[in-house]
Amino acid sequence: MNTMITKQQVSEKTGRTIDEAIDNAINELGVSRDKIDYEVLEQPTKRLFGLIGSKLAKVRVTVRAVDPIEVAEDFLNSMFDTMGIDVSMEKVAHDDYTVINIHGDDLGVLIGKHGQTLDALQYLTNLVANRDSEERCKIVLDVEEYRKRRADTLSRLAFRLADRVKRRGDRVVLEPMSPQERKVIHMALQNDNRIVTYSEGEEPFRKVVIALKK
């Protein structure tokens, strides 16, 4: 797996003191002080009796590079704390994506109808994790292995409907599905030499069609 970190953000600011210069920089960067490193470029000085012409402090503040997976976990933990939901999370790294499995009691609220809430949460998590990333990191969210169970259900449905199409000769149009769920149907039937699958319609109402090959 490729290790990816967020790109570094840098700000150079001045202030009457070093602390004030740092505060000016982190306000511009929009981060907290515990997430930065800084270098003092110029010490503040004062002329005799503090007359006009004193020299301001100048600092260079750099936001520490952060693993986008850690950013995702921080985002999810903060959201779950706000919702009052007690969960644990398990990471499973693959070559080109990382699965974050969420475990806990009564987590149906995180799944929603046919996984719609889970899909929306996954979309937001990827947005946050990749906001400052130089290279996109793909994160898949799952709740108590819901996606695996849903994929198994869809695969069985695909086989059953394909058999019906072969018996009757009429095409079958499924209910609207997310791109991930449509892919499960296509993959399940890709090796059936009598069946063809394709999608039709516009998002979010795009549907899979199962038909006989001509």
**C-alpha span between 36 and 61 (Å, rounded):** 7
* Whole-number Å distance between alpha carbons of 177 and 66: 34
**Mind listing the pLDDT tens digit for each residue in 4-27?**
444 458 899 999 999 999 999 999
Average pLDDT, whole number, for the chain? 89
CA distance 25 to 12: 6
**Residues 106-157: tens digit of each pLDDT:** 899 999 988 889 999 999 999 999 887 777 889 999 999 999 999 999 999 9
**Which domains are assigned to the chain?**
10-63 (no CATH), 68-144 (3.30.300.20), 148-212 (3.30.1370.50)
Burial 20-35 (b: 16+ CB within 10 A, else e): bbbbbbbeebebeeee
